[in-house]
Structure 1
Amino acid sequence: MSDESRTALNGPTKLYIHWCSIPSCREWGGFGFSNSRGEPHWWCWEHYPHKPNQARSEAAEIAEVLR
């Protein structure tokens, strides 16, 4: 696929600031997504609901060692 049909950017891209969605948390929301500016779903790592399960990660590491 070619990008020759794309137009060049006319200006700099904008930085969108998003904080953790938990109201009492003041951490940077670097994990998650946003469908639009009106519906943010960003979390800090502590509150991120989709992070991998610790036990599952440890089991995968053990399985790699046993191979």
Structure 2
Amino acid sequence: MSDTDRPTLTKAAEMDVHYCEQEGCEDWGSWGNFLSPSAATRWWCFEHFPHKTDAQEQALRRKLNVASAGDIL
């Protein structure tokens, strides 16, 4: 199949929009988790993602400490 055989795209692709589930957080929910294929996926930003490893948690704390000191990330 080549690109010349394909029908013309008639509408733009739809984008799934999901934000962090943490109340009051308006960041993009790029970290998803689901319990089963029949359950809806829940989304969090990295800061609120509840399933981080210890190494990820430590890296986040260092990043937040640097940001709170006023240094540029």
Q: For 1:33 and 1:54, locate their aligned partners in 2 and report how far apart those are by CA, in whole Å.
A: 19
Residue by residue over 1:3-55, the C-alpha shift from the partner in whole angstroms, topping out at 9 and shown as x without a partner, is: xxxxx8x955421000001121010000013557x834100000001111139
Q: For 1:43 and 1:21, locate their aligned partners in 2 and report how far apart those are by CA, in whole Å.
A: 6
Structure 2 unpaired stretches of 5+: 1-5, 59-73
TM-score by length of 1: 0.50
Aligned residues: 48
Identity %: 32
Instruction: Give the aligned partner of residue 47 of structure 2.
Output: 46
TM-score by length of 2: 0.47
Q: Considering only aligned residues, what root-mean-square deviation do their CA atoms show, in Å?
A: 3.4
Structure 1 unpaired stretches of 5+: 1-7, 58-67
